[in-house]
Amino acid sequence: MHLYPRLESESTYVIDLPLSQVRLSHNAAFPWIILVPQKDGLVELIDLTSEDQQKLMQEIATASQIMRQLFHPTKLNVANLGNRVPQLHIHVIARYENDAAWPGPVWGEMSETYDPALKLERIKMLKEAFQNRPIPSSSSPLRQAYDLSLEAAQEGFDWEFPVQAVLKVQEETEEVLAELKKPDSLVRQEALLEEMGDLFLACTCLARHCNVNPEEAILVGIQKFIKRYERLKSFAKEQGVSLQNAPRAELSALWQKLKKESQD
């Protein structure tokens, strides 16, 4: 990320968040940090993707919580101006009823220079606070798995052909089956949790190779299941068949029949 010169000269790096860089403003008159999304060419909030907009809102919320926790302000000022610095950045400023600019804005009202030792101490305090308060993810675990496989692929760790991803899914399925064959126990249940996680991750990798959004795919699957299940219940009612008491083989055959009809 290229940092605008004025932004760089008037603040100091603190820590990187998933999207933004946190910087301490050099104006010591107020507890003041700045979030800078680490992507070039951003001027307005609307220049971010919808996903990154959500990430930024979560990072602003976390930064605000930290500023309130550390400095106990009367009010937090959160602002996105950019009249002098066009690069997208967000100010989070702790305000007090007895500060020199209250109740007006801080811009141009007063400025104090940090004592070097106090500046280092404040950076350390802020860094530790952010490290101890992880940013919640805006993505579902399914989307995180997809993004993880994409990141690995971009670094060269990937299957060459989709069929290899299919074989990986089969391999992970076999490992789930192997655990199911073992006696039921807490250890087996923990192993199944791990193996199912591997299986789901392999499925998202396969989805990427097929150019399929896994979240959209699971929603399609859910809707398809709902339609077929409703038809199954209606048909069973017409035939006087109880879903609870009917033989599994009969229900399975009926399900396959409905499935075939929907494909015709």
Taking only the tens place, the pLDDT of each residue in 212-239 is 888 888 888 888 888 888 888 887 888 7
Q: Would you state the pLDDT for residue 138?
A: 60
* 135 has pLDDT over 80: no
Query: Mean pLDDT, to the nearest integer, of 151-159?
Result: 87
Give the helix ranges, DSSP H, for 31-110: 50-71
Q: Would you state the pLDDT for residue 90?
A: 97
* 258 has pLDDT over 80: no
Cβ 34 vs Cβ 21: under 8 Å = no
Rounded to two decimals, what is the model's pTM? 0.55
For the chain, the distance separating the N- and C-terminal CA atoms, rounded to the nearest angstrom, is 53
Helix, strand, coil percentages, rounded to 5, for the chain:
55, 10, 35
* 169 has pLDDT over 60: yes
Q: Would you state the pLDDT for residue 233?
A: 84
- Provide the pLDDT confidence category of residue 139 given band limits of 50, 70 and 90: low
Over residues 1-38, the pLDDT tens digits come to 899 999 999 999 999 998 999 999 999 999 999 999 99
Query: Which among 111, 24, 112, 108 has a CA at the least distance from the CA of 71?
Result: 24
Q: Would you state the pLDDT for residue 140?
A: 76
Give 92: exposed, middle or buried? Use CB within 10 Å, 0-12, 13-18, 19+: buried
Structure tokens at 147: 């993004």
Asked if domains 5-131 and 139-212 share a fold, the reply is no
Query: Mean pLDDT, to the nearest integer, of 62-71?
Result: 93
Query: Mean pLDDT, to the nearest integer, of 201-209?
Result: 94
Query: Mean pLDDT, to the nearest integer, of 107-115?
Result: 85
**Domain boundary assignment for the chain:** 5-131, 139-212, 217-264
Tell me the β-bridge partners of 78: 92
* 264 has pLDDT over 60: no
Structure tokens at 183: 């006696």
- Fold adopted by 5-131: HIT family, subunit A (3.30.428)
Average pLDDT, the chain: 89
Given 3.40.920.10, 1.20.810.10, 3.90.1170.50, 1.10.287.1080, which CATH number is that of 139-212? Answer: 1.10.287.1080
Q: Would you state the pLDDT for residue 71?
A: 95
Query: Mean pLDDT, to the nearest integer, of 80-87?
Result: 90
Cβ 53 vs Cβ 38: under 8 Å = no
- Provide the pLDDT confidence category of residue 259 given band limits of 50, 70 and 90: confident
